[in-house]
Amino acid sequence: MGANANIVLDKDEFEIKTLDDELRVDDLCRKLLLRFYEHLLHEQVSPEEASALASSADYFIRDFVIDKMRRNILDEYPHIVRQFAGNWYIINTLEPNMQELSGHLGGILAFYRFLYRAGSVSASYLDTIEKECNELGFYAERITSFCDIKGDGYLAWEQECSLKN
């Protein structure tokens, strides 16, 4: 199991109901992501690659899941990676591209594998995350179609992979 075998996460600690909760959870996630980085180093991942994976996981977890979606990182939300990669990343990046997005997806998948090994997410959820991280053709099409939007086409584009619940 590696360096993360002794991590025990209390799902309730990651609940966000108030601004104080959001700040507390953000700090918990920062610490958890540092543990993830240390785990990667323990697994013989180079410091450069570990840093890139942890940074991508950080971007997804802290900027998207916590700040934008205000969700518990240990709740099992299907389509959360699709919402991130097929919508939020695209509209919040100056020049969205598959090389950068692929890096983020690699970090997200590595982080959820880490959570799975720690017993914090189910095998079926890890499978869902893996499938969503591997939908590269879908995300490439979303980037292209976003760049091709004309007139009032944004609403139709957004509805194909909405951030709304």
Give mean pLDDT in consecutive 10-residue pieces for the chain, a chain of 165 residues: 63 92 94 97 97 98 95 95 98 97 98 96 98 98 96 94 87
Question: What is the predicted pLDDT for the residue at 7?
Answer: 78
Nearest CA among 66, 2, 4 for reference residue 29: 66
Q: What is the Cα–Cα distance from 35 to 43, expressed in whole angstroms? A: 12
Question: What is the predicted pLDDT for the residue at 165?
Answer: 66
Model confidence, pTM: 0.93
Q: What is the Cα–Cα distance from 51 to 34, expressed in whole angstroms? A: 10
Nearest CA among 30, 152, 154, 159 for reference residue 83: 159
DSSP string, 74-99: TS--TTHHHHIIIIIHHHTSSS--HH
Give residue 124's Cα distance to chain centre. 17
Does residue 66 contact residue 25 with C-beta atoms inside 8 Å?
A: yes
Question: What is the predicted pLDDT for the residue at 47?
Answer: 97
- Give me the sign of the Cα torsion angle 29, 97, 141, 114: negative
- End-to-end, the C-alpha distance of the chain in Å comes to 35
Question: What is the predicted pLDDT for the residue at 164?
Answer: 87
Question: What is the predicted pLDDT for the residue at 4?
Answer: 46
Which amino acid, residue 62? Answer: R
